[in-house]
Chain A
Amino acid sequence: MNAHQTLPADDAKPAYNYAYLDEQTKRMIRRALLKAVAVPGYQVPFGSREMPLARGWGTGGIQVTAAIIGPDDTLKVIDQGADDTTNAVSIRRFFERTADARTTEATEEATIIQTRHRIPEAPLKAGQIMVYQVPTPEPLRRLEPREAETRKMHAWAEYGLMQVKLYENIARFGEVTTTYDYPVMVNGRYVMAPSPIPKFDNPKMHMSPALQLFGAGREKRIYALPPHTSVKSLDFDDHPFRIQSWNEPCGLCGATDSYLDEVVTDDKGGRMFVCSDSHHCETRREAGHRGAMLADASALHLVEEVKS
C-alpha cells in the first residue's frame, strides 16, 4: 500500500493520489472487499465516492479497481466484450493517466479485468481478478423497490418471490424470459445479481479459479465471489437453466461456441453475427480460423485481416 503512494505516475497531477482515490478511501474499499469475499454473494454497503466519471458509467468497478491495482498489475478493460468500445477506452485511459497502469487487450496477460456486461470467452486462471461494473446490485429490486425490505428478505433467505416470478414466466411464456442479469444462488445462501452479463456467461462464474469482485458505485454496494465458489443459476428440475445459442457461427472467425453480436449490414435484412469478445475473435483469426464473411468485412476495412 505504501509502495503505491511513493510511485505516482510521472505525468500525474501532483494533486491526485496514485489511482485517483486517497489511501484512506482505498482502505475503506478494501475492508468492504474483504467482508464481501468472506460472505460470498452478500451486498456490503460502502462509502462510494463521487468519481470524475458519471455515476452509472462504471464508478463502482472503477473504485474497486483503484483500490486493488498496483504497479505490478496489468489491466484489461472491456465493455460488451470489446476493448475498443468508447466507455472501455475511457476507463482504460483513466487508469493509464492516474495509475500509470500497464494495459493489455489479451485476456491471459491481464491480472485485473474490469468488465461491463461480459465475461471473456477464454477461461480465467487462478490469480486473475474480474471486476464487474454493476448498475443494480439488488436481484430482488424489480420485485420489491424498498431497500429496507430487500435486506430483510436476504437476511431470512426468503427468496420465494423470485421463484414465483420465474414460475410465472414459465407459465406465461413456456420459459424464463430473463436473458441477462439472470439471478444466481451463491454458495447455497445468497441470491445474487451477476450484473447484466448475458445468461450465456453465468456458467463461467461457477467454480471459477479467478476472484470475482462486483462494484456498484451509485447504489454503494460491493459483493464478491471468492475463487471456486458455487454459482447456480436459478431454475426448476423440469425447466433446467439454458443458455443462448445461435444458428450460425461467427462471421469473422467461425467460432460456434462464443456469444455473438448482431451487426446490421444493410437495410435489406442483411445481418452478420460476430463474436462479442473482440480479443477472442482476433486470437482465433490469427490462428487461421476464417469466418464466411471475413473477406467481405476486410474488403470494407471493417477489420484488419491478419497477414500470414
Chain B
Amino acid sequence: MYVAVKGGEAAILATHDLVAEARRGNESVPELKVAQIREQQGLACARVMNEGSLYDLDLAALALKQAQGDAIEAAFLMRAYRTTLPRFGSSEPVDTAQMAIRRRISATYKDLPGGQVLGPTYDYTHRLFDFALMDEGQSAIGSRQSKTVEQPDCRLPTADCLDSHMPRVPDILGAEGLMEAEAPPEGDPRPFDLTREPVSFPADRDVRLQAMARGDEGFLLGLGYSVQRGYGGNHPFVGEIRVGEVCVEFVPEELGFSVDLGEITLTECQMVNQFQGSKDVAPQFTRGYGLSFGHSERKAMSMSLVDRALKCREFGEAANYPAQQDEFVLYHSDNVEAAGFVEHLKLPHYVDFQGELELIRRITREREQRLAREQDTLPEAAE
C-alpha cells in the first residue's frame, strides 16, 4: 500500500542497514579481508575487472566484498567509479608478442618455437572436492604433487627457463601468407570509446571488440557456443591462448618519450577460422580475436568466436544468426545495462498497469454484452 502511505524514505534507509547486516553474515565468523579476495579469488576479480572495464585488483576485490560476491553488482560498482575518473590520455598499444608468458598453448601445432606451456589451469583437474580445503592452513607448497620442486621453479611468472621468444601463432601463419592480414585503419586513429560516445550501427571492429571485452562472460559464452553448434557455421581452431604480463607504457606530452606505468595480466586468444576465398581474395585463414584482463580464458575464447562471427559482413557472408548481428551482440552483451533494465521491472508500474486493467475490463465487458445479444437473437433466427 505504498501509494497512499508515506514511508518510502524510511524504508530505503532501513534496507541499507539490512543489506549491510546480510553482507557481514554471522559475526562469529571472521570478516573477509580485501587482500584475501584479491589473492585467493583472482579469477572472480578478473571477471569483475573485465566487465567493470577497469584494471584494479584491489578495487575489484573491494567490489566483490561489498557486493557479497555478486559479479554483476561488483562490475556495476567498478563502472560507476570508473566513469568519474579523469582521462589523461591513452597508453601506447600493448605488445602481447612481448608478454611474460605464464601459459601458452596452441591447438594447431604439436610443437612450435617457445613450446607449449601449460601453466596454471583447471583443465586437467578432476572435479573432485578437495575436502582438505575445508580446513584452514593449507599451503600450496605443502600440497605439491609434481616432482619439479627441487629444480628452479619453471612454473612461476618470473621463470627464466622459458624461451624468451614466443612468437604468436597467427604471426607464424601470417609469415606464410596464409592468415588474413590485419593492419590498423589508415592513420591508426585512436580507438572508439563507447563509454564516452554513443555507438552507431553497423559498428566497426574497434567498437565491437571493446563492447565484447566488457561484455558478460556468460552471454558471450552462450553466443560463442551457438556459433559452434551451427548458428553461425564457423569451424575454429585455437591458434593460441596466452596468459601473462605485459608492460603498459604511456607517452606524456611534456616528456615526449614513453614511461613504463607498470604491468597488467592479460589473456589473449586467437582463433583460426577457414575462409574459402572470394573472387578477389585468395583462400586464407581468418582470425577471431579475444583479449581480456587477468586470467580469463573462457571469456577470451568466447569473445574470439563471436569476433569472427561478427566479421561476416567483411567477408560477404550472410548474417543469419544472432552471433553475426552486431546490434544484437553489442546491445545485449552489456550485463550492467541488461541487469538494470530487467530488474527495473521491480519498480512500481501501477499507473501503466491501471491503464491495462481499464482496457481489459472494458473489452471483456463489451464482449460479454455482445455474446449476450447474440444469445438473445439466435433462437429467433432458428424459428
Contact flag A297-B4 (CB < 8 Å), given A50-B82, A54-B340, A55-B337: yes
Residues of B within 8 A of A248 (CB): none
The answer to the question of A90 belonging to the interface, with a C-beta cut-off of 8 Å to chain B, is: yes
The answer to the question of A122 belonging to the interface, with a C-beta cut-off of 8 Å to chain B, is: no
The answer to the question of A143 belonging to the interface, with a C-beta cut-off of 8 Å to chain B, is: no
B347 nearest CB across to chain A (Å): 5
Residues of B within 8 A of A59 (CB): 340
Q: Are A200 and B355 in contact (CB under 8 A)?
A: yes
B176 nearest CB across to chain A (Å): 38
Residues of A within 8 A of B197 (CB): 47
Interface mask (B6-33 → A, CB under 8 Å = 1, otherwise 0): 1111011000000000000000000000
The answer to the question of B261 belonging to the interface, with a C-beta cut-off of 8 Å to chain A, is: no
Q: Are A46 and B198 in contact (CB under 8 A)?
A: yes
- Which residues B135-173 have CB closer than 8 A to chain A? none
The answer to the question of B371 belonging to the interface, with a C-beta cut-off of 8 Å to chain A, is: no
Query: Which residue, of A50, A85, A218, A303, has the highest number of chain B Cβ atoms within 10 A?
Result: A50
Chain A's interface: helix, strand, loop or mixed, by majority? loop
Q: Are B355 and A148 in contact (CB under 8 A)?
A: no
The answer to the question of A302 belonging to the interface, with a C-beta cut-off of 8 Å to chain B, is: yes
Residues of A within 8 A of B3 (CB): 80, 82, 261, 263, 274, 276, 278
The answer to the question of A89 belonging to the interface, with a C-beta cut-off of 8 Å to chain B, is: yes
Cβ 8 A contact of B343, one of A20, A54, A198, A261? A54
Segment from A154-162, A171-179, A184-192, A230-238 that makes contact with B: A171-179
Contact-residue size bin, chain B (C-beta under 8 Å from the other chain): 35 or more
Residues of A within 8 A of B11 (CB): 86
Q: Are A55 and B12 in contact (CB under 8 A)?
A: no
B72 nearest CB across to chain A (Å): 10
Chain A minimum-CB-distance residue to B370: A174
Cβ 8 A contact of A179, one of B7, B344, B356? B356
Residues of A within 8 A of B357 (CB): 262
Segment from B36-44, B293-301, B358-366 that makes contact with A: B358-366
Q: Are B84 and A79 in contact (CB under 8 A)?
A: no
The answer to the question of B336 belonging to the interface, with a C-beta cut-off of 8 Å to chain A, is: yes
The answer to the question of A131 belonging to the interface, with a C-beta cut-off of 8 Å to chain B, is: no
13 contacting pairs across A/B (C-beta < 8 A): A50-B82, A54-B340, A80-B351, A85-B8, A86-B11, A93-B9, A180-B352, A197-B351, A220-B198, A220-B199, A274-B3, A302-B1, A303-B5
Task: Give A54 to B347 CA distance when docked, in angstroms.
Answer: 12
* Extra 12 A-B pairs, beta carbons < 8 Å, given A85-B2, A86-B348, A179-B355: A50-B195, A54-B343, A56-B337, A56-B344, A57-B347, A84-B8, A90-B12, A147-B327, A246-B358, A274-B4, A276-B3, A302-B1
Q: Are A135 and B4 in contact (CB under 8 A)?
A: no
B38 nearest CB across to chain A (Å): 23
A92 nearest CB across to chain B (Å): 9
B340 nearest CB across to chain A (Å): 3
Q: Are A87 and B347 in contact (CB under 8 A)?
A: yes
Q: Are B2 and A259 in contact (CB under 8 A)?
A: no
Q: Are A55 and B340 in contact (CB under 8 A)?
A: yes
Task: Give A179 to B336 CA distance when docked, in angstroms.
Answer: 29
Interface mask (B338-353 → A, CB under 8 Å = 1, otherwise 0): 0111111001111110
Task: Give A219 to B354 CA distance when docked, in angstroms.
Answer: 26
Chain A minimum-CB-distance residue to B15: A86
Task: Give A16 to B79 CA distance when docked, in angstroms.
Answer: 15
- Which residues A237-287 have CB closer than 8 A to chain B? 244, 246, 252, 259-263, 274, 276, 278
Interface mask (A278-308 → B, CB under 8 Å = 1, otherwise 0): 1000000000000000000100001110000
B308 nearest CB across to chain A (Å): 21
Q: Are A54 and B352 in contact (CB under 8 A)?
A: no
Q: Are B12 and A89 in contact (CB under 8 A)?
A: yes
Cβ 8 A contact of B366, one of A57, A90, A93, A174? A174
A76 nearest CB across to chain B (Å): 15
Cβ 8 A contact of B351, one of A47, A81, A221? A81
The answer to the question of B83 belonging to the interface, with a C-beta cut-off of 8 Å to chain A, is: yes
The answer to the question of B378 belonging to the interface, with a C-beta cut-off of 8 Å to chain A, is: no
Task: Give A199 to B343 CA distance when docked, in angstroms.
Answer: 24
Residues of A within 8 A of B336 (CB): 50, 54-55
Q: Are A252 and B341 in contact (CB under 8 A)?
A: no
The answer to the question of A127 belonging to the interface, with a C-beta cut-off of 8 Å to chain B, is: no
Q: Are B341 and A55 in contact (CB under 8 A)?
A: yes
The answer to the question of A118 belonging to the interface, with a C-beta cut-off of 8 Å to chain B, is: yes
Residues of A within 8 A of B199 (CB): 220
Q: Are A148 and B352 in contact (CB under 8 A)?
A: no
Task: Give A306 to B339 CA distance when docked, in angstroms.
Answer: 42
- Which residues A72-100 have CB closer than 8 A to chain B? 79-82, 84-90, 93
Residues of B within 8 A of A199 (CB): 355
The answer to the question of A15 belonging to the interface, with a C-beta cut-off of 8 Å to chain B, is: yes
The answer to the question of B88 belonging to the interface, with a C-beta cut-off of 8 Å to chain A, is: no
Cβ 8 A contact of B348, one of A55, A80, A304? A80
Q: Are B355 and A51 in contact (CB under 8 A)?
A: no
